[in-house]
Structure 1
Amino acid sequence: MEWKTHGERQVYTNKWVNLCLVDVQQPDGRRWEYHVVRLRHLAVAAVVNDRQEVLMMWRHRFITDSWAWELPMGLVEDGETPEEAAAREVLEETGWRPGPIKPLIYAGPPTEKNESDRIEWIPLSEVRGMIDRREVVSSGSLVGLLYLLMDEAIR
């Protein structure tokens, strides 16, 4: 059963998000305006070093008023590939510069001071427990970390 879309209008827009009202009709004929949040494309970087540790940031999210571990992530800017955005976000948020062949080339001080409280290399063997304890709650971080864990499991 497919819903029909009859139109859409933006209610609010900024650099990160668009809030729209979409005129929809359900298969039973009911029709109304449905709120839809459209986000910009996001790049998430799962950087793993040769010690099987993943680079993560401990940060506060004011929306949920909670602290949790996250992977570096940010918006893909116009004219930028997701790979370029991921590398840029890793450097801006952690001070680490990921390399094209090795996981890391060198480190430097972070240029973005508002991103996290601390930055650490977390052993992949500890990630599952962190997820279970809800120490990782960001959907972007969860997707990247679960992919890493799955990749390790099938090797």
Structure 2
Amino acid sequence: MNFGDDGDRSSAWLVHGERPIYENYWATVHMADVQTPDGSRFEHHKVHLPPASIVAMVDGQDRVFMMWRHRFVSDTWGWELPGGVVDDGEEPAETVAREAVEETGYQITGSLDHVVTYQPMNGTVDSPHHVFVARGVERVGEPSERNEGHRAAWVPLDQINSLIQRGLISSSGTLIAVLHLVAISSTPQIGTSTPSS
């Protein structure tokens, strides 16, 4: 079976038009006049958020740098990776390099690899998220951004599964990045257990 794009657009939703409801730097909400393949026609919200970039900084001991953060919208706490909004004229890789220094005080000195660009909720929201892995960082000072979290740690990859299962990692970008790292490491996967001897 070919899992690529087969070019068939017969199931596409048609957009007859849209109008803005609310617009600012952080979020734009439009109302779209859409028609589904079965002929139904109705209005549907479209939310546009700026693109974001996230980076998993990994050291030579298979640890990833994470920050303990509060998210007021969901009123939740959890471990997250550094990252932020891609500024106008900025490449996603430049964003994570800048955010790493601002949020962590570490400068990326080694490789910076793009893992994936994904849409976290593309049924309603358009907001590309770019995920990177950096191997090789150097401490260059204290973080200049003081609102990102009060605690940070180099978390061993073999602790990631436990943190996820305990609900301590829930941000989508962080989950994608750390699950990628776990998948390419020798760490047991989610839902698996190490046989006892």
TM range (shorter): over 0.9
- In the alignment, what sits opposite 2:136? 103
2:173 to 140, 143, 148: 140
Instruction: Determine if contact 1:60/1:117 at 8 Å carries over to the other structure.
Output: no
Unaligned runs of 5+ in 1: none
Q: Per-residue deviation at 1:52?
A: 0.8
Q: Stretches of 4+ moved more than 4 A in 1?
A: none
- What's the counterpart of residue 14 of structure 2? 4
Task: Answer with 13-22 or 54-63: which moved more.
Answer: 13-22
The structure in which a higher percent of residues are helix is 1
- Given residue 25 of structure 2, which amino acid in structure 1 is its aligned partner? K
RMSD: 1.5
Unpaired segments ≥5 residues, structure 2? 1-10, 112-134, 188-197
Contact kept, 8 Å, 1:49 with 1:103, in 2: the verdict is yes
SS of 1:85's partner is helix
Matched residue, 1:52: 62
Residue 119 of structure 1: how far off its partner (Å): 1.1
Letter in 2 for 1:17: A
Distance, in Å, in 1 between the alignment partners of 2:25 and 2:110 is 29
Q: TM-score, normalising length from structure 2?
A: 0.74
TM, length-normalised to structure 1: 0.92
Higher mean Cα deviation, 143-152 or 95-104? 95-104
Cα shift readout 1:12-67 (whole Å, capped 9, x = no counterpart): 12222221111101122221110111221110000000111100000100011111
Instruction: Give, as a single letter, the amino acid of the residue that structure 2 aligns with 1:144.
Output: A
Provide, for residues 94-122 of structure 1, a one-character-per-residue CA deviation record: whole Å limited to 9, x for no partner.
11111134511224111011111211110
Greater shift, 100-109 or 12-21, is seen at: 100-109
Identity of aligned residues (%): 43
